[in-house]
Amino acid sequence: MVQIKTPEQIAKMREAGLVVAAIHAATREAAVPGATTMDLDQAARKVLAEHDAKPNFLGYGGFPATICTSVNEVVVHGIPSDEVVLKDGDVISIDAGAIIDGWHGDAAFTAFVGSGHAPELLELSRVTEESMWAGIAAMKQGNRLIDVSRAIETYIRRQPKPGGGKYGIIEDYGGHGIGTEMHMDPHLLNYVEKRRGKGPKLVPGFCLAIEPMVSLGTPRTEVLEDDWTVITTDGTWSSHWEHSVALTEEGPLVLTAPDGGKAKLAEHGITAAPDPLA
């Protein structure tokens, strides 16, 4: 069952989404050489407290921190720690969430620590982020869930990988519905798997967390002994981008983007829905 939201409920999700955007801004600034991933977690906690919001990661299935900090070959669900010190040249994905009055926001971004990153890493992040926006642009009335998956995969597959070969679209993790819970139906693959069918039709009130995860090598992953940290099986580095998006009568609204997705959607010829909090 897909939870369809009213305009009033989407406005609450927009409030939560803006808190997530503030967490992203604070953690991006904190992600410098010499900082620990726990420093980033503390920065996120401060933002949540300032906005009287609750974390949706802390305690979720026993997760022990406020955000996920996934460095280099870690794809998702990295646990913040005083022992993980960021170094010049690292790549980190920061996944954060917030709850306002029972409504959730969830988004992730990839950041570059320091300088001197290889061009292939910069391109990996660009391709992953742009595939997310291709998926967001497919959030149209009358489309189905598979159209979002197809848009993400098609964008990635059309990008030449520096040095040859193909990007690895992570197989075991994907996007999801979001609303009164962080993870809800439907599950969103970042590639087309025909045996799953076309999925539900996208209608106003449909909300998705769209989050491609892409590696420089394999699409396969394994979970470390902490039962959370997910790494690529071949040790190649990865990128992760995510936004929470609501489909409204006026079009898509990117709940976790400061501008509601206006600028990036315009690049796809799409007008973002009006911000209910404006």
CA distance 209 to 245: 6
Annotated binding residue at 243?
Answer: no
Residue 104 structure tokens: 């959730």
Look at residue 15 in the predicted model and tell me its pLDDT.
Answer: 98
CA distance 183 to 185: 7
CA distance 205 to 52: 26
Annotated binding residue at 106?
Answer: yes
Q: Which of 260, 180, 139 is nearest to 6 (CA)?
A: 180
Look at residue 38 in the predicted model and tell me its pLDDT.
Answer: 98
Look at residue 208 in the predicted model and tell me its pLDDT.
Answer: 98
Annotated binding residue at 176?
Answer: yes
Mean pLDDT by runs of 10 across the 278 residues of the chain is: 96 98 98 98 98 97 98 98 98 98 98 95 98 98 97 97 94 97 97 88 98 98 98 98 98 98 98 97
Look at residue 242 in the predicted model and tell me its pLDDT.
Answer: 98
Domains plus CATH for the chain?
7-267 (3.90.230.10)
Q: What is the dihedral of CA 31, 32, 34, 40, to 10 degrees?
A: -20
61: left (phi over 0), alpha (psi -120 to 50) or beta: left
Look at residue 155 in the predicted model and tell me its pLDDT.
Answer: 98
User: In the 3-class helix/strand/coil scheme, how is 95-150 assigned residue by residue?
Assistant: EEEEEECCEEEEEEEEEECCCCCCHHHHHHHHHHHHHHHHHHHCCCCCCEHHHHHH
- State which amino acid sits at residue 168: G
Annotated binding residue at 250?
Answer: no
Look at residue 255 in the predicted model and tell me its pLDDT.
Answer: 98
Look at residue 1 in the predicted model and tell me its pLDDT.
Answer: 84
Look at residue 108 in the predicted model and tell me its pLDDT.
Answer: 98
- State which amino acid sits at residue 14: R
